[in-house]
Structure formats: C-alpha cells, structure tokens
C-alpha cells in the first residue's frame, strides 16, 4: 500500500517555462512534507518543505503548495532551468515521541528540461 | 562543514554473506536514519537511531540491524544476503527535535550475486 504517490514517472518541460510536479498521500497522520532532488550517483538533496499548518511555502524559484483536504501537494519551479533536470521525490513524515518518523517517499518523477 | 559521508561507495557480495555499511552524520546532527532504494523506486525507510538506540523501524526483516556509536556515526548490518538486497543504501542525518529535514549521504551501492 503506497502512502505517497507520484503518478507521473516523467515530465518534460521547456526551459524558461513552469514545471509542476504532483504528489498525493493517503495517511492523515502525515504533517510534514518535503521535496528532494536526486541526480544519478548522488544522494537526494533537500529542496523545500512545508508543514501541515501552512498551505504554501516559497524559496526562490521553488514553491510548494499543500491542499490538506485533497491530500495533495505540488512543487512549482519557475522558471525551469537545464540544471533542474533530475528525479524529484516527494516525502512525508509524522511526528512521534518528540522527534520525526522515518520518511515515506514516492517513487519519483523524472523531470527533463528541454532547451 | 562536512556533510553526511558513507563508506564504501560500492560493494559486491554473494548470497548468504554478511555486509556492514558505515555512515558519519553531518556535524551537529544526533539522529541517523537508513534507507534502501531499489532501482526505479523511492527510498524505503529501514530504521532510525538516536542516543545509540533504535528509535523506529520500517518494514524490514531482522536480518537488517544497526548500531549508533557515541560520536553519532552509525553502521547498517545485513546478514544472510539475498539477491533482492541489491540496492542503493542511503544514510540520512538530522536533529531529533527538527528531524523532519533529513540530509542524505551519497549512498552505498550494494550488488549481491
């Protein structure tokens, strides 16, 4: 049972346009959501996060939106650049005992930025 | 400021053998989590260590065990290796009180033949 789903295995976007990556979750206990970017032969790199008390968080070209009622979040990248080509993972966690649970990841979306 | 480091980078083992992977957390972090990433999948949580104890465990068999040392570094041990254990093993470190943001190392690629 996949608790975090990224239904698009790949996405192709032209350079300079907006990239929108989507993620759905099923577990109501999740209260913190993160996006990671991964290049081949490297570990995931933290991009941006959002707490369930917010519905939007921005950091430069990256914005994450959270719709709790729909259990859906999205990552917007504007404008898209060639260096953004990578696999993007959505992850979620819940707090327990004063710390955070291990992260639950989606399967990832391969973003390809075309010149 | 060194980030999360892992060793070795690559490893080849045969079925039935045992393997130990190592992780040094980012400076100042006290919590280490281990993940397994199979080809084409997202990372799957194995377990998390804090104060030298296993704090939480994912859905992995007892063949997977770990340890955390007083300097916060950690080891992942896998006994009786199976072909299906071939994967990228990722270590992530964080602060337990802000554990949501975990920072990952480059991983150890394990191939079981």
CB contact under 8 A, B42 and A105: yes
* Helix/strand/coil for A84: helix
A111 touches chain B (CB under 8 A): no
3-state SS, one letter per residue, for chain B: CCCCEEECCEEEECCCCCEEEEEECCCCCCEEEEEEECCCCCCEEEEEEECCEEEEECCCCCCEEEEECCCCCEEEEECCCCHHHCEEEEEEEECHHHCCCCEECCCEEEEEC
Please report the pLDDT score of residue A96 as a whole number: 63
pLDDT tens digits, chain A, 115 residues: what are they? 789 999 999 999 999 999 999 999 999 999 899 999 999 888 999 999 999 999 999 999 999 999 999 999 999 999 999 999 999 999 998 876 556 678 999 999 999 999 9
Nearest-by-Cβ selection for B43 from A42, A95, A105? A105
Residue B97 has its nearest CB partner, among A34, A89, A98, at: A98
């Amino acid at each position: 049972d996949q608790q975090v789903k990224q239904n698009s295995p790949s996405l192709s976007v032209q350079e300079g346009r907006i990239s929108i990556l989507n993620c759905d979750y099923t577990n109501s206990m999740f209260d913190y959501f993160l996006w990671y970017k991964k290049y081949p032969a490297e570990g995931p790199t933290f991009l941006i996060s959002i707490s369930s008390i917010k519905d939007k968080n921005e950091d430069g070209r990256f914005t994450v939106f959270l719709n709790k009622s729909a259990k859906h979040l999205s990552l917007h990248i504007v404008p898209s650049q060639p260096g953004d080509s990578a696999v993007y993972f959505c992850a979620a966690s819940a707090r327990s005992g004063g710390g955070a649970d291990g992260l639950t990841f989606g399967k990832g979306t391969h973003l390809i930025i075309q010149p | 400021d060194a980030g999360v480091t892992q060793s070795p980078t690559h490893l080849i083992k045969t079925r039935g053998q045992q393997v130990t992977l190592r992780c040094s957390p980012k400076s100042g972090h006290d919590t280490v989590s281990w993940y397994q990433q199979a080809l084409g999948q997202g990372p799957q949580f194995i377990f998390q260590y804090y104060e030298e104890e296993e704090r939480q465990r994912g859905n992995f068999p007892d063949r997977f065990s770990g340890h955390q040392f007083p300097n916060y570094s950690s080891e992942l041990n896998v006994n009786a290796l199976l072909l299906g254990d071939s994967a990228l093993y990722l270590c992530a470190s964080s602060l337990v009180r802000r554990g949501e943001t975990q920072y990952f190392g480059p991983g150890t690629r394990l191939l079981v033949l």
